[in-house]
Amino acid sequence: MEQNIEPKTATSEALQYQIEGPIGEGGYGTVYKAKQFSTGQTVALKKLKAREDIDEATKAKQIARFERETRLVAELNHPHIVQLLDKGMDAQGLPYAVFEYVEGETLKQYLVNQGSLSASEMAPLMSQLLDALVTAHEAGIVHRDLKPQNIMVTQTGAKPYVKILDFGIAAFTQEFRTADYRTLTFTKDVVGTPTYSAPEQLRGESPSGKSDLYAWGLILLECLTGVPIMDGESVGQVFQKQLAPTPVPLPPVLLDHPLGLLMRRVLEKNP
């Protein structure tokens, strides 16, 4: 169910939040750790970059994409998807969005620090991810850039758990897509991260939940092995691996395991 979050005025960002420092940066936005004055709550404040090297048409496109992300996340309410708390426009007329602050590290960092995970360590994390994806897909939303760098591992109790971040290039599936979203799909402009992108996504085809499940399967294998399964020395090499009809290689331990059968279905290149 969509959260009713009213956009704030151009001055509300400065009045409500104290920025403490950057915690992440993407192609068109920067994420800051910030504190809300009224509550003292620590939040993640994402702002569109102010750039003078782009024309007005490109700027309008980036603003539309940014606002689209906040609208998509507002559709979702799930314990393993980062929650949108607030949104508005800054004094320069650029949008910002406020998300819950997730303490921890990305799954990518977690695997670097921990190494490959055992089946018992991997299973609950991947189950949580799958449950979050099901919720998004039921709302007609496909993430399109699921990867270890967009998954936070955090821990408030005895065991770690995950939260999905960054719906910046997410899209509505065909049956849920409306006219305003259709013009903002950017299917041929942004395809996600090739190492985790399904072949149909790299071909520029319409998004579907199958693309996210393909990425989920590759991430599961990476958790078990500690290394990306479809990596390469160049982007071209990665594209070649993903688009080739050759099945995604499975670790020997999965070849005769029931999980291996599931992985074959999830990672099927021409479903």
Instruction: Give catalytic residue positions.
Output: 145
**Chain length of the chain:** 271
Two tokens, residue 110: 């977690």
SS (H, E, C) 177-237: CCHHHHCCCCCCCCCCCHHHCCHHHHCCCCCCHHHHHHHHHHHHHHHHHCCCCCCCCCHHH
Q: CA torsion, points 199, 143, 70, 37, in degrees to nearest 10?
A: -130
26: which DSSP letter?
Answer: -
- What's the one-letter identity of residue 265? R
The stretches of 92-143 forming alpha helices (DSSP H) are: 107-114, 119-138
- Interatomic CA distance for residues 124 and 83, integer angstroms: 21
Please work out, in degrees rounded to the nearest 5, the angle formed at the alpha carbon of residue 241 by the alpha carbons of 235 and 247.
155
